[in-house]
Amino acid sequence: VSQPAAARPDAIRRHNLGLVLSLVHRRGELTRAQLTQALGLNRSTIGDLVADLSELGLLREHVPTGANRVGRPSHVVGPRPDGPYAVAVDLEADSLTSAAVAIGGQILARRESKLDPEEHGPITVAEKIAGHVEELAAATAPGAWAVGLGVSVPGLVRASDGVVEVAPNLEWRGKPFRAVLNDRLPGLPAEVGNDADLGVLAERVRGAAGGSDDVIYLTGKIGVGAGIIVGGNALRGHDGLAGEVGHVVFDPGGPPCHCGGRGCVETYVGEAALLRAAGRDIAPSRESVAAVFADARAGDLAAIRAVSQIADSLGRVAANLVNLLNPQLIVLGGSLGEILTLAGDTVEASLTRHALAAVRSSVSLTTAGLGEDSSLLGAAELAFQVLIADPVRQR
Ligand SMILES: [Zn+2]
């Protein structure tokens, strides 16, 4: 006897469930009336969808506590504390940060480990991530469950299969990292993305770039990369590897770059360049870079000059991007955000000097709205995409 067709949730219903989930994820708690208005569906359809999502344990409908309202209390549809969460991971050369992120983007719990160079192997990293996954599960509410794993990697990630083509600061080449994660953590679907691509994704959903369809997120840590949105769509390139602004040639006679080239953008605005400009012959680390910024704030002339030099170069880099892509907004993350905070006038002046006037006038520069967490929260978005695409299959 075949299963009656009516027992299977249909594609339209699944799609609509995803729409409601996605809206609550982006905007937070909403009343049924707000959902009805935002989605253009009728009240009874919204009622059915909310009931389904509640039954699936994905959302809950409740009267907000502590609300000082007059009249009949209004029910809101929102995330539930014992609901699904994404495991988001931000992998950097010297650290591993993980977080359990709820629908709506709230960080429920986080873990951070130092990462030594001898721990850079993909299997060792996957092992450490598995440890974090267990610790996060223990730190979240009973009943809460992980729907997926999103990992931000400081390197070029092939979109089709999650192979990390190259991550120079981890010394990775052609590492099938998504497959390694799926082996170590079966049952927790893993996605891997480039840190800047994920940064721009999160900044657009809940950071400084909300509502902007033409935005560049430029992040500088040890490496420099860009996540680029053009006309509302992520600029990916043929293999998903676009955006390597850090290796655009700034001056072919410039310093050698770890990519094998010379005078790449990274060697002028990256953290190693900042330390070199400040006359400090030490490797970039969170502490050594923070010390330059702290000294510049305290009035140390060498540190101020170094920040100013990087700011001038950053303005030129921004000008090239503005001439090429005509963005509305450039969001600066990592140490480049600090450069903008400390020497914004220098960056702006350099941008004005080097960009075409027609495109210069429409662009503004801002620091990341999510601070250090842009890539981490972008990794959560990556993990949630699977749930939102089909909320029924996840349970
Ligand atoms: Zn390079």
Per-residue pLDDT reduced to its tens digit, 111-162? 999 999 999 999 999 999 999 999 999 999 999 999 999 999 999 999 889 9
pLDDT digits (tens, 9 = 90+) for 248-295: 999 999 999 988 899 999 999 999 999 999 999 998 888 999 999 999
Q: Residue 216 above 90 pLDDT? A: yes
Whole-number Å distance, alpha carbon 3 to ligand 1 midpoint, is 58
Is residue 71 a contact partner of residue 62, using CB atoms and an 8 Å limit?
no
Ligand 1: centre distance to CA 113 (Å): 28
**Separation of 171 CA from ligand 1 center, angstroms?**
14
How much distance in Å is there from the Cα of 251 to the middle of ligand 1?
A: 11
Distance 250 CA to ligand 1 centre (A): 10
Q: pLDDT > 90: what percent of the chain?
A: 82
- pLDDT confidence of residue 275: 97
Is 358 in a helix, a strand, or coil? helix
- Give pLDDT tens digits for 193-214: 999 999 999 999 999 999 899 9
Q: 230 and 212 in contact (C-beta within 8 Å)?
A: no
How far is the centre of ligand 1, averaged over its atoms, from the C-alpha of 247 (Å)?
4
Q: How far does the centroid of ligand 1 lie from the alpha carbon of residue 155, in Å?
A: 12
The CA 386 to ligand 1 mean position distance, Å, reads 34
Q: Give residue 264 CA to ligand 1 midpoint distance, Å.
A: 5
Question: Residue 265 and residue 268: Cα distance in Å, rounded?
Answer: 5
Residue 157 alpha carbon to ligand 1 centre in Å: 17
CA distance 389 to 258: 39
Ligand 1 center from residue 271 Cα (angstroms): 14
* Alpha carbon of 249 to ligand 1 centroid (Å): 8
Structure tokens, 97: 């940060």
- The Å distance, Cα 221 to ligand 1 centre, comes to 14
Q: What is the pLDDT of residue 241?
A: 86
Instruction: Name the pLDDT band for 223 (thresholds 50, 70, 90).
Output: confident
- In angstroms, the CA 329 to CA 366 distance is 8
- CA-closest candidate to residue 244, choices 321, 351, 356, 161: 321
- Residues 373 and 199: beta-carbon distance below 8 Å: no
Q: Residue 7 — very low, low, confident or very high, per pLDDT cuts 50/70/90?
A: very low
Task: For 375-391, write each residue's pLDDT tens digit.
Answer: 999 999 999 998 998 88
Q: How far is the CA of 32 from the centre of ligand 1 (A)?
A: 52
- Higher-pLDDT residue of 354 and 9 is 354
pLDDT at 5 exceeding the cut of 70: no
**253 CA from centroid of ligand 1 (Å):** 13
Ligand 1 center to residue 259 CA distance, Å? Answer: 4
- Lowest-confidence segment of 96-105, 176-185, 386-395 by average pLDDT: 386-395
What's the confidence (pLDDT) of residue 110? 97
Q: What is the mean pLDDT of residues 78-98?
A: 94
Q: What is the pLDDT of residue 330?
A: 98
Task: Give the distance (Å) from ligand 1 centre to CA of residue 245.
Answer: 9
pLDDT in tens, 16-44: 999 999 999 999 999 999 999 999 999 99
Q: Which two tokens stand for residue 128?
A: 């450490």
260 C-alpha to ligand 1 centroid (Å) = 6
Q: Is the pLDDT reported for residue 69 higher than 70?
A: no
| Ligand 1 center to 269 CA (angstroms) | 12
- CA–centroid distance, 262 to ligand 1, in Å, is 7
Measured between alpha carbons, how far is 350 from 262 in angstroms, rounded to an integer?
23
Predicted confidence (pLDDT) at residue 72 exceeds the cutoff of 70: no
What's the CA-to-centroid distance between 128 and ligand 1, angstroms? 29
Following DSSP, what letter does each residue of 344-385 receive, concatenated?
HHHHHHHHHHHS-HHHHTT-EEEE-TTGGGHHHHHHHHHHHH
Residue 160 is predicted with a pLDDT of 87
How far does residue 339's CA lie from ligand 1's centre (Å)?
Answer: 21
Residue 57: CA count within 13 A, CB half-sphere: 14
Better-predicted residue by pLDDT, 355 or 71: 355
Q: How far is the CA of 359 from the centre of ligand 1 (A)?
A: 27
Q: Is the pLDDT of residue 9 over 60?
A: no
Mean pLDDT of the chain: 92
Residue 178 sits at the vertex; the CA angle it makes with 147 and 104, to the nearest 5 degrees, is: 30
pTM: 0.91
Which of 61-70, 92-101, 325-334 shows the lowest mean pLDDT across its residues? 61-70
